[in-house]
């Protein structure tokens, strides 16, 4: 009886492991494509500042877009685009990195950092910003 119980537990564990592996593989394949697309969009977004071109933001940002800054202030899509157009800094680069993609069904949350370097009329800057 004890031996039968051990066999049943092992079979249950093996089938559960195999089923979860199959599900993870399917999700990984689907999520990999989404991750690659999101990386491309993040790069386009950040390169828009280097090129001083708001066109990518007009396409990438949803009409309902809201950004909340470190001080708690928020900006919407129109304000973000206007901010880029009025930004007088010259960027050597603006690069997203250390990105983590969290998948929740059809929703993805991207958490990461952005490194940028450039200059304004009065000073040089090099900083890292949390996304």
Give the pLDDT score at 25. Answer: 45
Task: Write out pLDDT tens, residues 51-101.
Answer: 999 999 999 999 999 999 888 999 999 999 999 999 999 999 999 999 999
Evaluate if pTM is beyond 0.95. no
89 contacts 98 by C-beta, under 8 angstroms: no
Task: Write out pLDDT tens, residues 13-60.
Answer: 444 444 444 444 455 788 899 999 999 999 999 999 999 999 999 999
Q: Confidence class of residue 107 from pLDDT cuts 50, 70 and 90?
A: very high
Give the pLDDT score at 15. Answer: 42
Sequence ranges of the domains in the chain: 2-51+88-130, 53-86
29/21 Cα distance (integer angstroms): 12
Q: Using alpha carbons, list the distances in angstroms from residue 16 to 29, 83, 105.
A: 20, 52, 21
For the chain, the straight-line distance linking the first and the last C-alpha, in angstroms and rounded, comes to: 57
Strand-pair partners of 37:
none
């Amino acid at each position: 009886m004890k031996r039968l119980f051990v066999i049943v537990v092992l079979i249950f564990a093996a089938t559960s492991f195999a089923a979860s592996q199959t599900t993870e593989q399917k999700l990984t394949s689907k999520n990999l494509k989404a991750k690659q697309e999101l990386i491309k969009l993040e790069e386009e977004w950040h390169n828009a500042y280097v090129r001083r071109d708001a066109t990518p933001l007009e396409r990438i940002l949803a009409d309902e877009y809201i950004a909340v800054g470190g001080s708690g202030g928020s900006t919407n899509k129109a304000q973000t685009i206007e901010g880029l157009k009025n930004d007088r800094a010259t960027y050597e680069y603006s690069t997203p990195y250390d990105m983590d993609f969290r998948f929740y069904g059809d929703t993805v949350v991207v958490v990461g950092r952005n490194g940028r370097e450039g200059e304004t009329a009065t000073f040089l800057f090099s900083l890292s910003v949390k996304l």
